[in-house]
Amino acid sequence: MRFRIKAITTSAILLILASLAMLGITYGWIAFGTNFTTNIINVGDLRYSETGAFIADDTVIVPGDELVATAFSLDNQSPITSQLRLKITYTRITNIEGVVTPEEDHVYKGDTDEHLAVTFDSVFTFTDGDATPGEYDDNYWYYISADEVIPATSGTIALFSELYYDGDKTSIDYNGQLVSVTVTVEVKQADNVTWSELATYDFSTGYPAA
Amino acid sequence: MVKKRMTLSLIALISSVFLFVLASFAWLAVSEIVNIGGNTVDVVDLNVEAVLEVSDDGETYVPATNIEFTNATPGTIKYYRLNLTNVGNIDCYTKVTLQNFVDDVNDPSTTYDDTKSLRDVIVVNTSNTVNSETIVDHTLTELLPEIPSGDYSSASMYLVTSIYLGTDTGVDDTATLYFTFTVSGTAGNDYQNLELSIERLMVASATP
């Protein structure tokens, strides 16, 4: 008996709800909407891998010795467009009024008095694309140009295969000195973002043989 | 005794409901209008069609079945427009919402920062052809209610709260909702490879 009352009550409630739903639809109180489903927003990422190496650290060198053991290159598999630049700094030793003066982290700009010789395997331009001197981004070599946009998944980008102290430019002042070379590679998404470091390659000579 | 009363009540209830429904749907009359005791009951057809279109430049639009804004970079804009047409026989208000936001990653095999959310850097702008309701340069985070748990999988936000659509053929019965998603120019590399899924873009209408 109790079960029957419960069943009848439940049926009545369901019936009332169904009726109200039908009335709601009939009178436009309730409307079925249109749905567009599976909406996705995502941001691409930079996918570069690097190859290349300097000769072993602590190697004793003389001017003209090749410092690149394996040519440096990048493989771009980014799903988005990107930009690439690199900075080369080295120890530059000069003689100022009889005093041997090492300058650490001298930026390689490709000037005629550079003590370092670099052979790029792609077009790199030493410019930041503007005329304001003394800015931080003035010190970089930009792949192709400062405005160059590298297409997505563009594949291999050769960087440089030769880098050495030029015997025609260096002097006896380098004798017995420790020198180092650093190459910093930076990439970024093509629009509106700051550069971020992709890789840094260092090379330092060993203490010269006695 | 109780059983008899219950049965009679049920019969009475069913009968009254059927009468009401029959009257509403005009099953008792051939015409669309039914007169019962001098009252007029109109059978309404509330029906709004929505067509979604997408554009990369804000000028040339093509049909779209969903929002798909992939491999975006900071500064990238995606333009959408939603063409609404009242094809029913009654005026109505229409609202458009984005529902259920879930943070995800584009490619789990590469690096990403799971402490960041694209909700913070996706900027929304909206306008429509019917009224002055707009959203101007607000991120999804600003538009969504704040949820302390950080779980936005049931959260929703309005792209527009109310667009009036009449029934007269012409301007009154149509409207276009324009909306754009922009990856903020301030989004740094921290946001690389992140993804945001929005389960539903819903268009719902109701009578005035």
Weakly modelled stretches of chain B, pLDDT under 50:
28-31
Same structural domain for residues A99 and A153? yes
Q: What is the pLDDT of residue A119?
A: 95
- Tell me: the pLDDT tens digits for A143-184? 999 999 999 999 999 999 999 999 888 888 888 888 999 999
Among A41, A191, A196, the residue with its CB nearest the CB of B75 is A191
Phi, psi values for residue B85, rounded to 5°: -135, 125
The answer to whether residue A61 scores a pLDDT higher than 60 is yes
Closest-approach residue (CA) in chain B for A27: B44
Give the count of domains, chain A: 2
A101 and A196 co-located in one domain? yes
pTM of the model: 0.70
- The Cβ of residue A7 has, within 10 Å, a number of other Cβ atoms equal to 10
Does A113 lie in the same domain as A76?
yes
What local confidence, expressed as pLDDT, does residue B29 receive? 44
Neighbours of A132 (CB within 10 A): 8
Residue A31 lies in a domain: yes
Residue whose C-alpha is closest to residue B102's, from B156, B170, B164: B156
One domain, residues A29 and A52? no
Dump pLDDT digits (tens) for A82-122: 999 999 999 999 988 888 889 999 999 999 989 999 999 99
Q: Residue A123: give its domain's CATH number.
A: 2.60.40
DSSP at B52: E
**Residue A43, domain member (yes or no):** no
Question: Is A43's CB within 8 Å of B48's CB?
Answer: no
Same domain, residue pair A10 and A92: no
Residue A120: which domain range? 48-204
- A67 in the same domain as A166: yes
CA distances from A5 to A2, B5, B8, B191 (A): 5, 11, 13, 61
On whether both A61 and A161 belong to a single domain, the answer is: yes
Is residue A69 one of the residues assigned to a domain? yes
Looking at the structure, do residues A200 and A125 belong to the same domain, yes or no? yes
What gap in Å lies between CA B42 and CA B26, rounded to an integer?
Answer: 9
For residues A137 and A193, state if they share a domain: yes
Whether B189 sits inside 8 A of A193 (CB atoms) is yes
Whole-number pLDDT of residue B36: 52
Min CA distance, B148 vs chain A (Å)?
Answer: 23
Nearest CB to A192; choose among B75, B200, B204: B75
Q: In this structure, are A139 and A102 located in the same domain? A: yes
From A10, which residue of chain B is nearest by alpha-carbon distance?
B10
A112 touching chain B per CB within 8 A = no
Same domain, A157 and A92: yes
| Alpha helical stretches, state H, chain B | 2-24, 140-143
Mean pLDDT of chain A: 86
Q: Considering the domain boundaries, does residue A209 fall inside one?
A: no
Could B70 and A40 be called an inter-chain contact, meaning their C-beta atoms sit closer than 8 Å? Answer: yes
Residue A169 in any domain: the answer is yes
Q: How far is the alpha carbon of A197 from chain B, nearest alpha carbon, in Å?
A: 11
